[in-house]
Amino acid sequence: MSPRIRATVDDSKWPRVYVTWPGEPLEDADFEAAVLAMSKLLERGQRYVILHDARRAVRPTPKQRAFAAEQQKLDAEGTRRWLKGVALVTASPLIAGVLTAINWITPPPYPMKTFSRLSDAEAWMTTQLEGRPER
């Protein structure tokens, strides 16, 4: 049996959180585990930012997109207060479009921006944390 493919949620550089999405489809349980791990970050009660490295990501299923949108609704109050920005790094118009679709269903209560370069996303994250928000 081959190992399961998972997304990683790395908070070792807190308050910067790095989420890396694999280049293969995730099972629903693994996708949901990644979303719930991000939701759990709210329990810290501290300002933070998230960078989604989706350079290799594949499109989530409709069920996964619906789960992410629903969790975004549930977390809205906490993310409005603590999550200062979400950066998505992708070269794929398809992945950027999926994020747009999720946000259309449930608009995020925090700034979000798409980048093609990791370094640009990290610079933006710094401005968000320092209170110099740029949407």
Q: Residue 11 has what pLDDT?
A: 98
Contact at 8 Å (CB) between 98 and 131?
A: no
Which pLDDT band holds residue 84 (cuts at 50, 70, 90)? very high
Write the CATH number of the domain with boundaries 8-129. 3.30.750.24
What phi and psi values does residue 52 have, to the nearest 5 degrees?
A: -95, 115
Of 106 and 51, the one with more pLDDT: 51
User: Does the pLDDT of residue 132 top 80, yes or no?
Assistant: no
Average pLDDT value for residue range 42-61:
94
The DSSP H or E segment spanning 78 is helix 76-82
The DSSP H or E segment spanning 97 is helix 93-105
Per-domain residue ranges of the chain:
8-129
The predicted model scores a pTM of: 0.88
Strand runs labelled E in 1-135: 8-13, 16-20, 48-53, 83-89, 112-115
Question: How far, in Å, CA of 85 to CA of 100, rounded?
Answer: 15
Q: Side chain identity at 105, as an amino acid letter?
A: I
Q: Residue 131 has what pLDDT?
A: 85
